[in-house]
Structures are given as C-alpha cells and as structure tokens.
Structure 1
C-alpha cells in the first residue's frame, strides 16, 4: 500500500497558481515515472474505460486529436511477433473503434495526431520497418495521402489549423505545409511539442542551448526564440531540462509544462515540475517540489487547464483553484498517459496512452475519461 505525502507543489514563484498538492515519487528516467497517489484526491479517479483486446501482445497510444466538431481520433502502434503495426481509432459515442488504414501506413507507427474536422486529420509517423523515410499522413474525409520525410526528420508532434496550414516537428527541426508543399523552417530550438493558433501564430516548446527549457513563436513569416525564465540551479547532463507540452488559448494566453533537472545543493540532482504561462508579453513560471514532473497540458473548455504530472491529473480553474484526481490503475500495472484533450462540445476530458504490466513489461493501450 502506497502512502502519499502532502507537498507544496509551487512555492516562491512569480506565478500565482492557487493551492495544489503533489505526491512525492522517486526520480527515475524519462518515460519510467512510477504512478503515485495525489494527496487529498484518493477518492476520485478518471476511470479506465477501454484497453487492449486480450489477444494483443503490446499496444500503446501516443497521439490524440480533437476536432471542433467533436470528432476525436487516437493513434499509436501495436507490436505483434516483433513487428510494429500502426493503430488508428475513432471515438463514436463513448466507444473507440479501430479505423482501417491504407497499405502505405503499414511500415509506420504514429507518434502524434492533429485535426480540425472529420475531413482534416494529420498523423506524424515514425518508420518501424525497413524503408528509407518517416512520413506524415493526411485524411481528407475521403482518401489518404502519404508525405514521406527523410530519416533525418522523424515527426514527433504535429499541429494544424486547416488543410492549408499544418506543422510537423522533429527533435531539431520544423516543417510547414501550406496546402501545396512542405517547407523546412529554421526554428532555433529543439522542439518537443507544437500548437498552432492560426496561420500567423504557432508555438513550439522544448529545449535549447545547454539543456535549458526553451520556446519559439511563429508569426507567419519566421520563428523567433522567446526568452524563457532561467531555472536557478539547473544541472547539465544526459537528461535535458525541457518543456514537453504546450496549449495556446490565444496569442496572449499560452500554457506550457515540463521538467527541470536541478541541483539540491548537496551534490544531488532532482527533477522539479515546471508550469509556465505566457501573457502576451512574457513567460512566468512556477516550480514544483523536488521529485515532481509535468508532461501534459490541455484546455478544460472553461478557461482553465488540466495537467498531468507526478502520477496524477490536476485541474486549474479559470479562477486559479486547483484540484487533483488519479487515473484508474489496474492491479500490477503502471499508467503512462501520452496525450490529453477535451472533447469539443462537452465537458469530458480524455487521456490516452498505455498501462505497463509490472511483471511482464508488456503494454496495453488505454483510454481514460474524466466523466
């Protein structure tokens, strides 16, 4: 049985966040965070509403797209007999069903998804078989189109505001689709995530320089690196301090989350969650307690945000009031949410990812729902 400790998540910062508590967990490597309880929220959970068929031997979801018309897709991959196969699902009512994919999708695994309608879906695809390219796939409501990308550009996130304005980013570059062709655009940072507000406004977050969190803004013509507050005590190492997700409500209301690697002053390094807000003029930040992290952020549809970090979901209202909930966790597993989104036209939040069996290490794709 796990015991949670009450810790002040944000303190001594310039960003007024309201009261929120975080669970203490041991620092581990990226993608290996162990689930932990949220102090004061043990009675409330997001249920696990759908997982892999028992016949699957390893499935996970890495992308989630929510279009304004309420259409939602989840994308990822399945490992069978040592070969990954892509997975695409669509939400109908409250059930996720598999979507048929073209033969051209077979060599890939989907890392991310973005959509503006049922006839404008984009998928960032990573090569998982023999071949000479990664890819971006597009669904126009009637047919699929595959755009190949060189092996030097592995699409890891994607954003779109319409069929003629789509962005894809790799670990060090960005490409833009204008409706006719793709063009490489110098971005100035190593992006981990991207979001687009319009054809003349997009945000990318990640890291740059000596492993420091970084952000960049697209103004319709070029990318500009936007100064980000320095995190005192940041330690350079194999794991960079970085921002991992971004949500833009408008050009003057942008949220980003991530994790900093910070010295504790006693010769040890610990992770500390970062929550950052852009008000149209500057970024302000708040740091979590030692051992915390944040990976996901999304709109709640009512002026607030949901974030995932330190093993739990946390909600911040438009008024700045925080609360926390756990993700339902089957016995003997760890939870690994990869994307988070509001279903437009509802108050329901969805998270997708996978659960890992602690004994076998196998993953099962997972969908969690807020209500």
Structure 2
C-alpha cells in the first residue's frame, strides 16, 4: 500500500473538498473546488470517480500512455502505460496493489459498494496490441483479480451496488454469486438485438437497455427484462433526429426510471430527460442553459442529480437536481483558470450528499487535462 501525501496547506483545502464538513442541503450544492491530485506521469487521464463515504472516494484511469509505431512512419496506436486507482482517505491519496495486472492497462470503471467493498473494471493491452478485460475486487488491502464471465470482452460493462454485482458482455448479463474462495458468475439472461446507447441493471428482474432498432435507425426503443422475458416499449422521441443519443440512465424501481441524453441535431445541442412511470416513457421538462447531459445518478432521500455541459457558463459544470417532481438547475462554481469544463462523471457521497465530479478542461482551445472537483 502506498500513500501519496499532499502539502499541508493543500491537504487542509482538500479536507474541505472531500465531504468532511457538515452535510449541505441540495440548494447549497454545486460550490465545486478543485481536489489536488497526486503526481501522475504525463499522458494521463482520470476516467471515473465513485464514493462510498467521505473517507472512501475513488478515482480510476491511467498514466504514462505510449504510442506503438505503426506500419507507416507517423502512424501508431496509443496505449495506456500504468493503470491508476486511488482512494481519498484522511487527507491522503492511497494506492493499492492491483494483483495480476502488469503495465499497459487502463481502469475505466470503479464502483464503491461500501468503504471496503470496491469493484473495478479495466482493459489490459498485450504486446501484440490485443486487449482483454480486467475485473478485480477490493476487500481492504489489495485488489484481487476476478475472472470475467464467459465471452467477456473489453467492451463489457460492470455494475456493482448494494443489491448485487453484474457484468454485461455484448450478448449476455451475469450476476456475481461467488465469494473470496470461489469465482462464479450466474447467467441472468441473453440480450435481444439492439444498437445500444445505455443500460442499467437494478436487479435480476429489472434490467433496461436503451437504443435504436438498428445502427442507422432513428427509431428508439426501450427493452426491459422482468425476470421472465424481454419486452420492448416505444419512446416519445418525436423531433429528435439522427444526432440524438442516450448517455446514461438509472432505475429507482420497476415503475420509476430516468434516462439522460443529448440531441446534437439542434443548434445549439439540446439536453433531453426521459422518464418511465411503469407504463410508458415520456419526455420531461429540462431547465434551460445546458447543451448536453452526460450522467444521471441517485442522490440521497430519493432525489436525483444530472450532470452536463453549461452553454452560457462553460467554465461551470452543468448540474440539475430533481426533487418533488421537478428538475431545477443548480448554480455551480467556475473552474479556476479554465475557460471550459466538459464534466463526464458524478458521484454522491453517502451520508453527506457531497458531490464529486471530473471532466476535461480547456483554456481557450488548448486541452489542459482532467480536473477532479468536489463541493463537500
């Protein structure tokens, strides 16, 4: 286990940014401050963030990407150098061993079920440029590799939460039923054909897949698995063109689910929210000012948060809050010394409701890398 320590003054600032102060109401969320990161090699990226407690916030990504030469001079393939997984704990960034994972790998997803129960999913790269999935589970001291289910590819998705752990391959979904002594995935169902935009697994009998009927189709459909069979439900997407797509979704119950997306067919682009009420999917009113939505996630006390890009104030993360049947826009703080942030991940800290987010920032047209923010 390695501990990266930031200077004392920076550590004090990060303590405030890490959700260790008293919980704030939804109305006071959004006062984001940068969280100082440990040293990473150049050519790095932070891809995901998740939180299990104020003392257990996780980031994942890679550092030290290299370019493998191609057959023609000036061409090549960039692959990650070292995988990155860090935990924010007591004012320090803590690094843990990723067992059986050598260099040239990226961690794409971190799911913190509880402070000492964390899952990660990534991709490892071979010397021949081949890729394979990497799954691992943390139980307090290191990440132990978990063999993926049959047919798992690099494009698979992991979903881990208090109700279970699922892994979706391009064709099937499996639930983890093993323990630290056994590696076992139980097959849940096979997916019907769809050009997938996003999906969500809440339980073995509550699985959603949203997308179009084919690669070039503009007919959107929602497929739902109820434990017995797949059913398709039409979606009210009138007026949404070929530039529309779903970016994320969340299901609260079999009769309450939400999906977020962006319609790039309009100018400027339009944010879209869709709601499932147990009978049909319909569009919901979206507050003005955001020209794209990237994430939607559960908060505390049954509320929801949606994240996106702010059109009128691009240096501020776009933030929407849902409570009492209405979506409202939440004012946010501008990222210091940046002209734009495209926020892509959002985590809610259990207990405090503090928000952590990350996104790519720019100064003018120059990419300045990924910044991690918190309003704790």
Q: Contact 2:165–2:176 at 8 Å: present in 1 too?
A: yes
Aligned counterpart, 2:196: 191
Mapped partners of 2:166, 2:234: distance in 1: 25
CA-CA distance at 1:348 after TM superposition: 0.9
Aligned counterpart, 2:235: 228
Mapped partners of 1:251, 1:68: distance in 2: 27
CA-CA distance at 1:317 after TM superposition: 2.1
Q: Secondary structure at the match of 1:308?
A: strand
**Structure 2 vs 1, CA of residues 321 and 231 (structure 1 numbering), >3 Å: closer, same or farther?**
closer
CA-CA distance at 1:150 after TM superposition: 9.3
CA-CA distance at 1:137 after TM superposition: 1.0
Aligned counterpart, 2:293: 294
Q: Secondary structure at the match of 2:332?
A: strand
CA-CA distance at 1:223 after TM superposition: 4.1
Q: Does 1:50 align with 2:56?
A: no
Q: Secondary structure at the match of 1:76?
A: strand
Q: How does 1:358-369 map to 2 (within 5 A)?
A: 358=364, 360-364=366-370, 366-369=371-374
Q: Contact 1:77–1:109 at 8 Å: present in 2 too?
A: yes
Q: Contact 2:33–2:375 at 8 Å: present in 1 too?
A: no
Q: Secondary structure at the match of 2:101?
A: helix
Mapped partners of 1:97, 1:351: distance in 2: 19
**Structure 2 vs 1, CA of residues 118 and 45 (structure 1 numbering), >3 Å: closer, same or farther?**
closer
Larger radius of gyration: 2
Aligned counterpart, 1:167: 167
Out of 278, 281, 284, the residue aligned to residue 279 of structure 2 is 281
Aligned counterpart, 1:73: 58
Q: Does 1:88 align with 2:85?
A: yes
Out of 197, 202, 218, the residue aligned to residue 225 of structure 2 is 218
CA-CA distance at 1:315 after TM superposition: 1.8
CA deviation map 1:274-324 (0-9, x unaligned): 101111221111366798221111122122221112321122223425132
**Which 10-residue stretch deviates more, 276-285 or 147-156?**
147-156
CA deviation map 1:87-137 (0-9, x unaligned): 112232465433332342533212222242345433232344535432141
Whose relative contact order is higher, 1 or 2, with alpha carbons under 8 Å and at least 6 apart? 1
5+ residue gaps, structure 2, are: 1-27, 68-78, 178-183, 311-317
- TM-score, normalisation: structure 2: 0.70
Q: Contact 1:194–1:205 at 8 Å: present in 2 too?
A: yes
Aligned counterpart, 1:145: 145
Aligned counterpart, 1:124: 121
CA deviation map 1:190-233 (0-9, x unaligned): 3343333223223333444314544332323454333221232x
Out of 108, 113, 117, the residue aligned to residue 111 of structure 1 is 108
Aligned counterpart, 2:358: 352
**Structure 2 vs 1, CA of residues 225 and 99 (structure 1 numbering), >3 Å: closer, same or farther?**
farther
Mapped partners of 1:132, 1:353: distance in 2: 28
Aligned length: 317
Aligned counterpart, 1:27: none
Aligned counterpart, 1:259: 262
CA deviation map 1:161-211 (0-9, x unaligned): 469641335xx5443234213657224333343333223223333444314
**Structure 2 vs 1, CA of residues 344 and 76 (structure 1 numbering), >3 Å: closer, same or farther?**
same
Aligned counterpart, 2:185: 181
- TM-score, normalisation: structure 1: 0.71
Mapped partners of 1:274, 1:328: distance in 2: 24
**Structure 2 vs 1, CA of residues 117 and 153 (structure 1 numbering), >3 Å: closer, same or farther?**
same
**Which 10-residue stretch deviates more, 296-305 or 96-105?**
96-105
